[in-house]
Amino acid sequence: MAVVRKKVSSVRTSAMSAQREVDLRQRLSDAGLLRVPVNVVAIAEFLGLEVVEEPMADDLSGYLEVRSGSWVVGVNSLHHRNRKRFTIAHEIAHFVLHSGQKKSFHDQTFARRNDDPNPMEREADRFAAELLMPEADVRQMISSGNTTLSGLAAEFGVSALAMKYRVQNLGYRVNQ
């Protein structure tokens, strides 16, 4: 599938959340952790999170919770590698954006909750997409001629569906 440029507006979170994200992105960049494909486990550890893989029900992707005073990211070991990467990035988002509001997050399979009215989940999905598929890198790869969803997805270590949503959110049109 080719990706073609089109204009689309973007939705942002609050100014305080946006500033936290900018600060985090700078810290991660300074630590050399934003090279594509982004190593989400290294980022989680950089933030002091423990990542554990364990079998879960198929409709559960992962969780973030406090155990013995430390934050733990749990990820469904039965899911595909790309799904696990998105789950970890999503749980990192909950930690960065929402850990002051709750001490536990349990997330259902993301593709099955597209209409979820919960703003925390939408924010975490947006954050995860931006972390795994940084805008500048996506735009650079597309301008360099990598214009297929499968090609882009392979470069970023995400699913073609996640890449489709990301390029659409960046203002590109996906030809069928």
User: Mind listing the pLDDT tens digit for each residue in 19-32?
Assistant: 888 899 999 999 99
- Which pTM does this prediction carry? 0.87
pLDDT at residue 109 is higher than 70: no
pLDDT at residue 15 is higher than 80: no
Task: Name the domain count of the chain.
Answer: 1
**Average of per-residue pLDDT values in the chain:** 87
Range of the domain at 24: 3-174
Tokens of 119: 């703003």
For residue 126, the SS3 value is: helix
CA atoms within 13 A on the CB side of 59: 2
Tokens of 87: 């789950």
For residues 138 and 71, give the distance between their C-alpha atoms in angstroms, rounded to a whole number.
Answer: 31
DSSP code at position 38: P
Tens digits of residue pLDDT in 39-65: 999 999 999 999 999 999 988 999 999
For residues 173 and 176, give the distance between their C-alpha atoms in angstroms, rounded to a whole number.
Answer: 10
